A = this chain, B = another copy of it.
Amino acid sequence: MSDIISPRVLKGFRDALPALEISRKEIQRSLEKSFENFGFVPIDTPALEYREVLLGKGGGETDKQVYSFQDHGGRDVAMRFDLTVPFARFMAAHAAELVLPFKRYHIAKVWRGENTQRGRYREFYQCDFDIVGTDCAAADFEILFMIKNSLEKLGVRGFRIHLAHRGIFNAFLEKLGLEQEGVEILRTVDKLPKVGEDKVMELLEPLTGSDKGALILKYIRAEKTPAQTLEKLTNLVGENDPSLQRITELFRLVEQTEIEDRVILDPAITRGLDYYTGVVYETFLTELPELGSVCSGGRYNNLAGLYTRQELPGVGASIGLDRLLAGLEELDRLSGKETTTRVLVFNMDDHLMGHYFYLAQELRNQDIGSEIFLESKKINKQFQFAERKGIPWALICGDEEKKAGKVNLKNLVTRDSHEAITLAEAVAILNK
């Protein structure tokens, strides 16, 4: 084998080296723990599905981003490009086996062959959590409350969840006689953070005229307090509007659970998607607003209509795991650890190797990650190894110490040394 093949990866793909993968796993485990604590259970679906199932019967221009091909059996298949469509298919297939309302989470990779921009990959993680089978306000609130709790558990400090309701905006447009232009107006309004009020007004005018355009701009402005914003919306759409009642109910729960500092009633959050039919959420890091929303979602009134006639209303959100990881990295909040090892057991003599396995295992049994320097090398090489890997402690035991039932423990950062102590004493120091 003299011809070497270049060990390259595809454009838009990357290897995860230990420092990245350790951080990613820390985040994923924290989220899973949060979700499970709320009674959300994990599911999984295949990475590969029938093309028709993922893309529907049409499947035209918009599907260029999807990796699809014919398998060995001549079936048209595609790799999943999100976790929402497979979840809809999953619910249609399994609703009868599940107890409703069904709360699930799913953290997995998806693939999109889109053009790669800075920080965008063709393979990335999605992290979705949903409550399906109920249309109640408490479910809308639970998703909001979970976003808050999950991010706080992750150690994310400054963030705000922006909340709005598609139905209020629709009722408002109806009052203005602008239902027909709704989609176009939504798209225009969505540009507000990027282009500013003047530009949005300029784009709205041909659609709505200048008076109604001004009212739309007034509508989407967040007032100083949620109460003031609610009052303004009530004046604009009338207090009997059911969407307004829903959002009022949500803010009552926000107050009762004392999370007002985390939530903003922000009518400008309209989420370009036609998909949502009720409340919508977006979440921004206060220190990195330009990162965009790290957790978005909302209510949809018919999840699985493509696959079943059973109506399945739901509400959910999705954490942009890669975006959040990038944000936390920028804020220097990731451990950046290249190892989970706390103690390196030095190899002072190959004949003591059995004893080193015993010592390391005793530490592991106390939940102290430990590894053994396996090779016969000079002691300065072993110190170098620990230093390069960022292992903070050295446990050193030669023939003499073994006979005396003792070890030496060295902190490689502070250079503190504890000589001829028992293993129990070493554990006590390591647990301090």
Tell me which of B338, B355, B369 contacts A256 (CB under 8 A). Answer: B355
A131 and chain B: residue at smallest CB distance: B374
- Asked whether A1 and B305 contact (CB < 8 A) given A257-B354, A339-B41, A374-B131, the answer is yes
Complex Cα distance, B36 from A371, in Å, reads 9
A10 to chain B, nearest CB (A): 6
Q: Is the CB of B10 within 8 A of A257?
A: no
- A257: chain B residues within 8 A (beta carbon): 354, 357-358, 361
Q: Is the CB of A56 within 8 A of B5?
A: yes
- A56: chain B residues within 8 A (beta carbon): 5
Complex Cα distance, B391 from A103, in Å, reads 14
Which among A11, A67, A255 has the greatest number of chain B C-beta atoms within 10 A?
A67
Q: Is the CB of B93 within 8 A of A385?
A: no
Q: Does A48 reach chain B (CB closer than 8 Å)?
A: yes
Q: Does A155 reach chain B (CB closer than 8 Å)?
A: no
Q: Is the CB of B357 within 8 A of A145?
A: yes
A87 to chain B, nearest CB (A): 10
- Asked whether A136 and B44 contact (CB < 8 A) given A17-B94, A32-B25, A341-B39, the answer is no
**Listed stretches A69-77, A271-279, A289-297; interface member:** A69-77
User: Which residues of chain A in 94-120 are interfacial with respect to chain B, using CB atoms and an 8 Å cutoff?
Assistant: 94, 97-99, 101, 103-104, 109, 111, 113
Tell me which of B7, B18, B385 contacts A89 (CB under 8 A). Answer: B7
Q: Is the CB of B48 within 8 A of A13?
A: yes
A314 to chain B, nearest CB (A): 12
Q: Is the CB of A52 within 8 A of B5?
A: yes
- Asked whether A75 and B10 contact (CB < 8 A) given A5-B307, A15-B46, A21-B42, the answer is yes
A341-380 interface bits toward B, Cβ cutoff 8 Å, 1 = contact, 0 = none: 1000001001001110110110010010111101110000
Q: Does A16 reach chain B (CB closer than 8 Å)?
A: yes
- Asked whether A4 and B308 contact (CB < 8 A) given A43-B16, A113-B71, the answer is yes
Q: Does A215 reach chain B (CB closer than 8 Å)?
A: no
Complex Cα distance, B43 from A104, in Å, reads 27
A48-62 interface bits toward B, Cβ cutoff 8 Å, 1 = contact, 0 = none: 111011001100000
Q: Does A264 reach chain B (CB closer than 8 Å)?
A: no
Q: Is the CB of A369 within 8 A of B10?
A: no
Q: Does A198 reach chain B (CB closer than 8 Å)?
A: no
A347 and chain B: residue at smallest CB distance: B138
- Asked whether A71 and B67 contact (CB < 8 A) given A32-B25, A111-B48, the answer is yes
A38 and chain B: residue at smallest CB distance: B371
User: Which residues of chain A in 125-141 are interfacial with respect to chain B, using CB atoms and an 8 Å cutoff?
Assistant: 131, 134, 136, 138-139, 141
- A252: chain B residues within 8 A (beta carbon): 354
- Top 10 closest A-B pairs, CB basis? A256-B354, A39-B371, A69-B69, A16-B44, A18-B41, A13-B46, A39-B341, A138-B374, A7-B92, A7-B307
